[in-house]
Structure 1
Amino acid sequence: MSKALTVMDLRALKGVRQISFVQVAREEEAIAASEAGMDMIGTAFIPERAHFARAVPQTHFQFGLPWGKHAEATEALRDAMAAMNAGAQSIYCGMSPAIVEVLAREGVPVICHVGLVPPKATWTGGFKAVGKSAEQALHLLQEVKDFENAGGFAVEMEVIPARVAAEISKRTSMLTISLGSGGDCDAQYLFSADLLGENRGHFPRHAKAYRNFAGERDRLQAERVAAYREYISEVNVGTFPEASHVVEIDETALQDFLKQAERA
């Protein structure tokens, strides 16, 4: 069994090889990703997922602090430490460098976030690429530098022009994690729901579906309906239950029961 990559191991891979990273929502996804050899697995640090890290001890696990839950650094630090105690080796925090600094000062390895940050997308014009102008690109570089100075060890770069992301990656000691920001970052990151083809409707341009779980779920749903209809039909005509589905009683015991039942 392979050992989970530590933060030191991951940092040593910068410029050496690409790191694979997936965001999961179910324990079985985490287990499958680990069995497949994924370098990093992440999920939100919420009560129903707090046990995920323990299920995949051989893979680097990252818990994400839900954006908007914490009003200040002490709250974020408390949750970050709880997440580390639950088995995480790193923490995602989408808050400011000031908050990241507090976490990093206590030894919490923090993954920061720049570019299209969904809860803050109104500041960058909505759900679209960030960094397509020289001014925006320079602002991104400064944000990355601010997070680096705050002590973050990695930064998620979401939907940034690939050449901008490549240049920023050269100019920071942090690991750069690409979500739609090209192949020259240090890690590639996808959501399991996209990777497995679970979603219907809009599909992110930066994502790739390697399976069609939505179609498989449609097929399984149709099979459920068909099975229920067959069951109802057999109940209605009396062909269920069959002899193999019931428990018999010895004839002598049955007759004894009937005699005593008559006197009851």
Structure 2
Amino acid sequence: MGGMTVKDLREAKGNRTIAYVQVASEEEAVAASAAGMDMIGTAFVPDRAHFARAVPDTHFQFGLPWGKHADSTEALRDAMAAMMAGAQSVYCGCSPKIVEALAVEGVPVICHVGLVPPKATWTGGFKAVGKTVEQARMIWQQVQNFESAGAFAVEMEVIPAALATEITKRSKMLTISLGSGAGCDAQYLFSADLLGENRGHIPRHAKTYRNFAAERDRMQDERIAAYGEYIADVRGGVFPNDVQSVATDDAVLAQLWKD
């Protein structure tokens, strides 16, 4: 088993910060692994089921899509399939009850608190969670519930940094920060944000290291230019020329028509 195991990740708590990225393509996964990323994750969907095999030397996590599973049996079935596909852990945004069903069977589970996008209506929409005493208590209670259910890690999304730091000190789980400050055990970004794939709004918590959107625009301009040149060559009789054509001996054609 290559890369950091769950045991390795748990032992890293308090010793060093884990680098973790969410990818959307095998190319991104391979690049992240080559760069030395500690953890790589992606959604467990049919066209990504092979990603883990492409990065055998990195801890790979498959995420169970929220809303797909009606009960713990369905979630467990997908979690087992994810592990069989090569994952070392799974993300599950469901309740502690479902997390417990997975954990009991030995599936290492990452749970989720704070701004949980599919459940954002309960916390006031797409904004920070935990800035009031009531919300902070709710988050801490959720963390304790998930830890009791057997989760080994918790993603904390857009909660106050000071709160995330204190939870990290008090929880045995590996804490993963997505916009929750530097005091967590792991830092997490989406590859699309990290590489600058998106146009317009960039999440406050994200840091962009490249401008792939501009590069894609440049490549699209180059595609259009190349297609235009090809069209002009076709219409002008320049393409194909002798280089792109197959020659034959005149005698062969003469004999063909003679016969």
Please give the TM-score of this superposition, normalised by the length of structure 1.
0.97
Task: Tell me by how many angstroms 1:252 deviates.
Answer: 2.5
- SS of the counterpart of 1:257? helix
Percent identity between the two aligned chains: 73
Q: Deviations over 1:153-176 (max 9, x none)?
A: 000000001000000000100000
Cα deviation, residue 139, structure 1: 1.2
Q: Which amino acid aligns with 1:40?
A: M
Give distance in 1, aligned partners of 2:256 and 2:129.
Answer: 81
Aligned residue type for 2:125: G
Show the counterpart of 2:70. 71
Tell me how far apart the structure 2 counterparts of residues 155 and 253 of structure 1 sit (CA, whole Å): 76
Secondary structure of 2:41 counterpart: strand
- Partner SS state of residue 163, structure 2: helix
Look up the match of 1:155. 154
Relative to the length of structure 2, the TM-score reads: 0.98
Q: CA deviation at 1:249?
A: 1.1
CA distance in structure 1 between the partners assigned to 2:3 and 2:257 by the alignment: 67
Mapping of residues 1-264 of structure 1, within 5 Å: 3-260=2-259
Deviation at 1:250, TM superposition (A): 2.3
State the distance in 2 between where 1:35 and 1:224 align. 29
Measure how far apart 1:5 and its partner are.
Answer: 0.6
- Write the distance in 2 (CA, Å) between the matches of 1:101 and 1:257: 80
Task: Output the CA distance in 1 between the equivalents of 2:17 and 2:209.
Answer: 19
The Cα shift of 1:254 comes to 2.4
Structure 2 unaligned regions, length at least 5: none
The Cα shift of 1:220 comes to 0.5
Structure 1, 244-253 or 92-101: larger mean CA deviation: 244-253
* RMSD across aligned positions (CA): 1.0
Query: 1:124 & 1:141 partners in 2: Cα distance?
Result: 15
1:30 aligned partner, one-letter code: A
Shift, 1:255, TM fit: 2.0
SS in 2 for 1:136: helix
Aligned length: 259
- Could you tell me which amino acid in structure 1 is paired with residue 54 of structure 2? A
Provide the C-alpha distance between the structure 2 equivalents of 1:42 and 1:257, rounded to a whole number of angstroms.
64
**Which whole-Å CA distance do the structure 2 matches of 1:15 and 1:88 have between them?**
24
1:129-154: per-residue Cα shift (whole Å, max 9, x none)?
Answer: 00001221111111101000000000
Amino acid at match of 1:39: D
Report SS of the residue matched to 1:148: helix
Q: 1:57 Cα deviation (Å)?
A: 0.6
Paired with 1:199 and 1:148, the residues of 2 have a C-alpha distance of: 35
